[in-house]
Amino acid sequence: MKKRSGLFIGIVLLSSCNYLDVVPDNVATIDYAFNMRSSAETYLFTCYSWLPSHANMYSQNPSFTAGDEMWTHNLATTLFSEFIPSHIARGEQNVVEPYVDYWSGQRGGVPLWRAIRECNIFLENIGKVSDMTDYEKTRWSAEVKFLKAYYHFWLLRMYGPIPIMRENLPISAGVDEVRSIVREPVDEVFAYIVQLLDEAAADLPDVVPFEVQELGRITRPIALSMKAKALVTAASPLFNGNTNYANYKHADGRPLFNPNPDPAKWEQAVAACREAIEACHAVGMDLYYYTTGPFSNEVSDTTRTEMSIRNAVTQRWNVETIWANPNSRATAIQNHSTPALFREQPGSGCLSPTIKMAEAFYSSNGVPINEDKTWNYANRMSLRTVTPEYNLFLKEGETVPQLHFDREPRFYASLGFDGGRWYGEGRYRDTENIYVEGRQGGTASGHVYWFSITGYWPKKLVNFQNVHTSVQRSVEAYPWPVMRLADLYLLYAEALNEANGPSDEVYHYLDLIRTRAGLRGVKESWDNYSTNPGKYTSQNGLRDIIHQERTVELAFEGQRFWDLRRWKKAETVLNNPITGWDINQENPEDYYKPRVIHNQEFRSRDYFWPIREAELLVNRNLLQSPGW
């Protein structure tokens, strides 16, 4: 099956991503593909072309709607794609035709075993090309080793123990050879991924030599950062000492999970995170701060903080971006994250953050709302009228719940909601504020398909310079940031705490992120405002803080879905109701009543995807995922 050329549509619009403008051709023979540099380059881009479309909420990336961060209404689920991952969140995953199937490449998934096969073909044949320098061969091989590692890592997170495809089976392979492909213990799979990433990092450039043509191609900081993420994942409870799978073994009795936790894995993760951070810093990467933009000299510090938070995601190739995927442009996801802000604006977004996520953000004092001694958590659903001092967050005179008052800047930067300010859309002065009208009769309600089922929109994913009117739909597309520096800092803080407990270094990396978000440091916030002031001094307490910091800082970016799994929290967190506001009501007293949208259920088998039954008929030595 040839890779769909549709993945490349529109990439020419990102002028700095020309290396992906090549649609791989069918080649008659492998020898022809590696006969000269130009055809070998085409094959290199073939290996890149299998990258999952990270910004694709409808099929390829389950992390947006297959968990509990964002919901979609039933009409959206049926209208946009039969593959939409929200079917998984609704408990409809199955073994006959699994949703978002990356093993077989069906129902929204990409056949990553085919991708790995293409990588192996490249690595086995690149040495044949005569009109290339050794440097190019070495660099391109390193890029493909990274891709091969990443494809294994993607499959490992989804399926747990997987086969390791070190090299391809020959075309002449018999039935017995095919059936020799079996799942390998997770520790061996992680070790192979890390080996590939180490080999890749040794031969990759620190930065791409030609930015205009090559931004998005793999560099040494990208490889080291992905190694850090892989090792943190390997050290986490789902894979490190998971006794739930003690009986998950090969027919010969070989266990696929080690039930005994290994503390050394956290030490390895610490070292990998530190090395990755040093590599990123060496090339000038830093947390993004908003300094230039339309009327940036005329806006308040409040607006600058909001733009620092939003633009860290939506500003293409900003200083915080470690790896962005230019083959996955954030266009559709922005449209479906934007409410109708004006009467003449057609349609609005249907991606709907849950009340659970709205409650996860801190108070303005930088601690959880349920432990802020100055914040009335018990009455968070009671209504209150907005006064003028809140006009950069909420619309003066509107009646909104206490839940929307006195929250941290990331709450207002990440969420759109009724009565909340929506900065941008061609209005960039603080005196030109736009506010969402989410209640029945408002501009963001009443559409057949384009509405939020919860009353919230993921504003964080929307570039503030987008403009939507009845005659214009201008979207500032950006390559999806697969990994940014804040993610790496949080992985490092987590690994440090798990390895050695609380320390000033942990607080330092947490506080770097909190400062950018307009908050005080961990110590000051908990000492002065928390009902549990010593929480950050214990490993367990600091673990909870780090987990919530990741949830808040990386909200709606596709991280929580995997974090809940690797932390083994999914069975607790994803067995709570999905709730939203009563969106069909006009009066605030009726609208702001939480209602259950779905009673979500998560079972232990849901930690890993099932393998399609038809695959097991081809190779009867493959084990089905536990519980399926």
| pLDDT tens string 461-473 | 999 999 987 666 7
Q: Is the pLDDT of residue 298 over 80?
A: yes
* 252-261 average pLDDT score: 94
Q: Flag the least confident range among 74-88, 139-153, 380-394, 469-483.
A: 74-88
* Percent of the chain surpassing pLDDT 90: 84
pLDDT, tens digit, 9 for 90 and up, residues 86-107: 999 999 999 999 999 999 999 9
Q: Which residue has the tokens 């930065």?
A: 207
Q: What is the pLDDT of residue 17?
A: 33
What is the rounded average pLDDT of the residues 116-140? 97
- Residue type, position 470, single letter: S
Residue 593 to residues 313, 357, 380, 600, Cα–Cα distance (Å) = 32, 16, 11, 19
- pLDDT grade for 12, boundaries at 50, 70 and 90: very low
Sign of CA dihedral 490, 491, 493, 494: positive
Residue 13 has pLDDT above 50, yes or no: no
Return the beta strands (E) in 377-452 as ranges.
383-385, 399-401, 416-417
pLDDT at 6: 28
> Which pLDDT value is given to residue 7?
25
Q: What is the pLDDT of residue 83?
A: 65
> What does DSSP assign to residue 255?
B
Inter-residue contact 536 to 542 (CB < 8 Å): yes
Give the model's pLDDT for residue 346. Answer: 64
Q: Which pLDDT score is estimated for 8?
A: 24
* Chain position carrying tokens 């991708």: 115
The alpha-helical segments, DSSP class H, found in 19-84 are 30-33, 37-49, 74-80
pLDDT at 468: 80
**What span, in angstroms and rounded, lies between the C-alpha atoms of 193 and 153?**
7
**15 or 56: which leads in pLDDT:** 56
Between 142 and 174, residue with greater pLDDT: 142
Domain ranges, ordered by start, for the chain: 5-69+97-248+609-618, 297-481
In this structure, are residues 412 and 393 in contact, taking their beta carbons and an 8 Å threshold?
A: yes
Q: Check whether 18 has a pLDDT greater than 50.
A: no
- In the beta sheet, which residues pair with residue 324? 481
Position 3 confidence tier, pLDDT thresholds 50, 70, 90? very low
* pLDDT, tens digit (0-9, with 9 covering 90-100), for 316-338: 999 999 999 999 999 999 999 99
Instruction: Indicate the fold that domain 5-69+97-248+609-618 takes in CATH.
Output: 1.25.40
In angstroms, rounded to a whole number, what is the distance separating the alpha carbons of residues 145 and 119?
7
- Which one-letter DSSP state was computed for residue 47? H
Residue 15 has pLDDT above 60, yes or no: no
Asked if 493 and 513 count as a contact pair (C-beta separation under 8 A), the reply is no
Is 60 exceeded by the pLDDT of residue 21? no
Indicate if the pLDDT at residue 9 is higher than 70.
Answer: no
Cα dihedral 432/438/441/442 (nearest 10): 10
* pTM of structure: 0.94
Q: What is the mean pLDDT of residues 356-380?
A: 98
How do residues 434-483 score in pLDDT, each as one tens digit? Answer: 999 999 999 998 787 789 999 999 999 999 999 987 666 789 999 999 99
What would the pLDDT profile of 527-563 be if each residue is shown by its tens digit?
999 999 999 999 999 999 999 999 999 999 999 999 9
Contacts of 249-256 with C-beta under 8 Å, sequence gap 24+, read 250/182, 250/183, 250/623, 251/621, 254/185, 255/185, 256/160, 256/161, 256/183, 256/184, 256/185, 256/186, 256/623
Q: What confidence category does residue 4 fall into, taking pLDDT thresholds of 50, 70 and 90?
A: very low
16 pLDDT exceeds 50? no
Q: Average per-residue pLDDT in the chain? A: 92
Query: Position 59: which residue type?
Result: S
pLDDT at residue 613 tops 80: yes
Span 237-243, average pLDDT: 97
Greater confidence, 80 or 60?
60
Q: Is the pLDDT of residue 609 over 70?
A: yes
For 185-263, where are the alpha helices, taking DSSP H only? 186-203, 211-214, 220-235
* Mean pLDDT, range 45-50, rounded to an integer: 96
- pLDDT on residue 78: 63
DSSP 8-state assignment for residue 19: G
Q: What angle do CA 523, 527, 528 make, to 5 degrees?
A: 120
Tokens in use for 19? 């290396």
